[in-house]
Amino acid sequence: MKARFLLPLLLGTSLSLSAQGAAGFPPPLYLWQHGVPGALGHGVADQPQMYAFLPKTRSTSTAVLVIPGGGYQIVAMGHEGVQIAGWLNTQGIPAFVLDYRVAPYHYPAEIEDGERAMRLIRAHASEYGIDPNRLGVWGFSAGGHLASTIGTHCDADTVPLTNKDSVDKESCKPDFMILSYPVISMELPETHAGSRMNLLGPDPDPTLAHNLSNQFAVTAETPGTFLFATSNDPAVPVENSLDFYRALIQHHVPAELHLYDYSNHGCGLCGSIVPLSTWPTLLRNWLVQRGWIPPNAPAPPPPMPNLPAWIPGLKGPGEPPNNP
């Protein structure tokens, strides 16, 4: 069964995901139409793409690029992608979910994909009915590393491209960031070893690893940021969030950090974990406080069980190996 028919069943009838509503999954938007930089082949795994989830009723001209995690090995398109788009759409916020290249791809492919997605959204902002100056990024785990890399490195030291087009004239820098249990550092022992291995390889250049440890790249121009993590995260040390938050405060960047005294990694909106299920409400409050959505925006959906990490029937570069 194709994903477009499975999606309403997975989400439940109360949650409208996109402008297509019951029709299901929107069509993929390929990031490059005339050759993917550094492509290793011409298959599905070599074609980074994103999906535009546009709510039937808008509450704001703000939009969010959603970057699921997966250790730079897979892309958790379900509970850290499609489900996040549903949470945003319910409140009238357009969302774009990125399915980016992962291992065996290494740096800079993943960063190129994230930067290109931001530029592509801005290049077509008028078509989507969004404000190109109100574009945020929301990353989970390794997707949080990709999101924070975009937020701290664009456009100062963006990855140079050889096949530039008109889209690349746009800025790739987000206007705000949401980082959920993020990987921030690429240096041991603080980093997540799997993410570091998959992004940089088994013996990374120490200078590159330090440059991509994004707590060191924060400046006064870094976008305002909301962070959520658990203090006993068993996979990504909480120091990633703590160090990034401290760097933001030191540079007088608006920042809010919420740590839960809990041990979990990768729960998305955490709807099935009662002690953690309140964190999206805190995010909603922050979005209102910072002016990204109006106070009278529709209420977010109630806590729900997670979708699977990968949507059945979906094909893309982040698909888990040997996925049926």
| Inter-residue contact 52 to 27 (CB < 8 Å) | no
The percent of residues in the chain predicted with pLDDT above 90, rounded, is: 85
Neighbours of 171 (CB within 10 A): 16
Q: Is the pLDDT of residue 8 over 50?
A: no
Six-digit token pair at 143? 């997707």
Q: H or E element: which one contains 179?
A: strand 176-180
Residue 25 pLDDT class (50, 70, 90 cuts): confident
SS3 at position 260: strand
Q: Is the pLDDT of residue 42 over 50?
A: yes
Residue 159 pLDDT class (50, 70, 90 cuts): low
DSSP 80: I
Q: What is the mean pLDDT of the chain?
A: 91
pTM more than 0.85:
yes
Task: Please tell me the least confidently modeled range out of 151-160, 245-254, 287-296.
Answer: 151-160
Residue 323 pLDDT class (50, 70, 90 cuts): confident
For the domain 3-289, what is the CATH superfamily, name and number? Alpha/Beta hydrolase fold, catalytic domain (3.40.50.1820)
pLDDT digits (tens, 9 = 90+) for 48-63: 999 999 999 999 999 9
Six-digit token pair at 184? 């921030």
pLDDT digits (tens, 9 = 90+) for 238-251: 999 999 999 999 99
Higher pLDDT, 8 or 79: 79
Average pLDDT over residues 170-183: 98
In angstroms, the Cα distances linking 201 to 105, 182, 235 are 9, 20, 19
| Inter-residue contact 272 to 298 (CB < 8 Å) | no
Respond yes or no on whether the N-terminal peptide bond of residue 205 is cis (omega within 30° of 0): no
pLDDT digits (tens, 9 = 90+) for 241-277: 999 999 999 999 999 999 999 999 999 999 999 999 9
- Residues for the chain: how many in total? 324
Residues in Cβ contact with 75 at an 8 Å cutoff, skipping those fewer than 6 apart: 68, 69, 81, 98, 99, 100, 102, 143, 316, 317, 318, 319
Q: How far is CA 288 from the centre of its chain?
A: 20
Residue 217 pLDDT class (50, 70, 90 cuts): very high
Q: What is the pLDDT of residue 138?
A: 99
Q: Is the pLDDT of residue 162 over 70?
A: no
Instruction: Determine the residue type at 262.
Output: Y
| Inter-residue contact 78 to 311 (CB < 8 Å) | yes
Q: What is the helix, strand, coil percentage profile of the chain, to 5?
A: 30, 15, 55
Q: How far is CA 42 from the centre of its chain?
A: 25
Structural domain spans, the chain: 3-289
